[in-house]
Amino acid sequence: MQDLKPLYDAVLTGDAKTAKTTTEQALAAGVEPLQLVQEFMMPAMAEVGRRFEANEYFVPELLLSARAMKAALELIRPLLVASGTEPVGRVALGTVKGDLHDIGKNLVGAMLEGGGYEVIDLGVNVPPEQFVAAVKEKKANIVAMSALLTTTMPAMKTTIEALQQAGVRQQVKVLVGGAPISQRYAEEIGADGYSESAAGAVAAARKVCA
Ligand code: B1M
């Protein structure tokens, strides 16, 4: 198999051009798209996070690595997305209020689309009322929230409360995920499902809707 260490290095060093060309070459050589994400890009991002914590990397480096990962994901996303089938459900997906991290959320969206769900991507920094509006106006039957910061985790609870106050909590299932989230936290805040990975989000969506 082609040596894919350059993809890892490109994400780690924020080299978007190399991340893109290595991904193109790997896909052309028949490497599984998810393998590229799980075995090379995500470990590189984990190392970026470690360096940030160790004060070896700062916000500019985080941004460059995020840009490199996004460049590669742009090529992968269409391959994860199913086409031509009736959606099995409609998901309002977003990163919660106060949180700007969207790489994991975008992967979750691509996997859900690949799993046959219609995804309404609300973006990042999504306030509770925007999730409520998506349920009311767009008739989403799943609300999927991502959070990457311990400080923004409580926004998930606030959103669930907003769904309750708006009288729509019973008509939706709530899925949560993101690095600091756990099954226990999901249960604590009254979410219906949790997944630690983007691939697992599809199984979690199926489970809560079954
Ligand atoms: Co930020 N950041 N960041 N950052 N950043 C983290 C999260 C951090 C852990 C880094 C660290 O210290 N080690 C830390 C959080 C600490 C904490 O809260 N405990 C942190 C911090 C502190 C910050 C700032 C506060 C830094 C600052 O300004 N001083 C700031 C906050 C800004 C804000 O949001 N308000 C900040 C900013 C940024 C950038 C904007 C520079 C950039 C994000 C760019 C972007 O997303 N467009 C960034 C990045 C890149 C990171 C790290 C390095 C990488 C995140 C990532 O994309 N991972 C991150 C460290 C790390 O994660 N190791 C870090 C790859 C991605 C595929 O994984 O998002 O975990 P992840 O998603 C996974 C799963 O979690 C899961 O599926 C995905 C794939 O399997 N998942 C779900 C996610 N959502 C899900 C939803 C589901 C199910 C599964 O169901 C609905």
Shared domain check, 126 and 158:
yes
Shared domain check, 98 and 51:
no
Residue 209 has pLDDT above 80, yes or no: yes
* Angstrom distance (rounded) from CA 63 to CA 54: 17
How many domains would you assign to the chain?
2
Residue 136 CB-density burial (10 A; 0-12 exposed, 13-18 middle, 19+ buried): middle
154 ligand 1 Cβ < 6 A: no
* CA-closest residue to ligand 1 atom 53: 49
82 ligand 1 Cβ < 6 A: no
CA-CA distances (angstroms) from residue 107 to 32, 38, 178? 15, 11, 11
- The string over 159-187, giving b where at least 16 C-beta atoms fall within 10 Å of a residue's C-beta and e elsewhere, is bbebbeeeebbeebbbbbbbeebeeebbe
Shared domain check, 163 and 66:
no
Q: Tell me what pLDDT residue 110 has.
A: 86
What is the whole-number distance in angstroms between the Cα of residue 69 and the centre of ligand 1?
13
Supply the range of the domain harboring residue 147.
90-209
| Last residue in a domain, options 82, 111, 141 | 82
Q: Tell me what pLDDT residue 87 has.
A: 77
- The string over 82-113, giving b where at least 16 C-beta atoms fall within 10 Å of a residue's C-beta and e elsewhere, is eeeeeebbbbbbbbbbbbebbbbbbbbbbbbb
Q: What is the pLDDT of residues 30-63, one digit of tens each?
A: 999 989 988 999 899 889 989 999 999 999 999 9
CATH code for position 171:
3.40.50.280
* CA-closest residue to ligand 1 atom 73: 104
Q: Tell me what pLDDT residue 85 has.
A: 61
Which residues on neighbouring strands pair with residue 121, listed in sequence order?
93
178 ligand 1 Cβ < 6 A: yes
Shared domain check, 55 and 96:
no
Work out the mean pLDDT of the chain and round it to a whole number: 93
Contact 19, 40 (CB under 8 A): no
What is the whole-number distance in angstroms between the Cα of residue 170 and the centre of ligand 1?
30
Phi, psi of 149 (to 5 degrees): -115, 140
What is the whole-number distance in angstroms between the Cα of residue 101 and the centre of ligand 1?
5
42 ligand 1 Cβ < 6 A: yes
Shared domain check, 99 and 75:
no
* CA-closest residue to ligand 1 atom 32: 100
109 ligand 1 Cβ < 6 A: no
176 ligand 1 Cβ < 6 A: yes
* Local structure of residue 169 (DSSP, 8 states): G
